[in-house]
């Protein structure tokens, strides 16, 4: 059996990543692309541009690791904070509607 070509290997790897169902893989993918684009910009412009893209790419990869590792610790506080903001927004909207109805 002949050895697979580079294109076949890349296609197989992309298929495996797609089938893994890991929703956080997109953060690493975008982070890697941003890092590579930043490095290319640093090389092309002799270090004048591209550092922001490198930092954003590295931060996205780190964010992926943190969320994957501490998802259970992050989920509950985010849900509680979202609920509190929604309740506060609803309360403010309710007060504004009551104030507007009293003025009319």
Per-residue pLDDT, averaged over 11-29, amounts to 63
Cβ neighbors of 63 (< 8 A, separation 6 or more) are: 27, 31
11 SS3 class: helix
- Is pLDDT larger for residue 2 or for residue 22? 2
For the segment 64-80, what is each residue's pLDDT rounded down to a tens digit? 787 777 776 777 787 78
Q: In this model, does residue 17 exceed pLDDT 60?
A: no
Q: What integer pLDDT is reported at residue 87 of this predicted model?
A: 92
32 and 57 in contact (C-beta within 8 Å)? yes
Is residue 46 very low, low, confident or very high in pLDDT (cuts 50, 70, 90)?
Answer: confident
50 SS3 class: coil
The domains of the chain are located at 1-69, 71-104
53 and 40 in contact (C-beta within 8 Å)? no
The residue count for the chain: 104
**pTM exceeds 0.85, yes or no:** no
Average pLDDT score, the chain: 78
């Amino acid at each position: 059996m002949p050895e697979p070509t580079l294109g076949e290997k890349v296609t197989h790897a992309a298929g495996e990543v797609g089938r893994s169902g890991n929703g956080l893989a997109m953060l690493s993918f975008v982070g890697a692309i941003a890092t590579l684009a930043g490095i290319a910009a640093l090389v092309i412009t002799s270090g004048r541009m591209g550092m922001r893209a490198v930092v954003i790419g590295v931060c996205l990869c780190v964010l992926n690791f943190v969320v994957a590792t501490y998802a259970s610790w992050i989920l509950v506080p985010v849900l509680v904070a979202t609920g509190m903001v929604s309740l506060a927004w609803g309360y403010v909207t309710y007060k504004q509607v009551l104030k507007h109805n009293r003025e009319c």
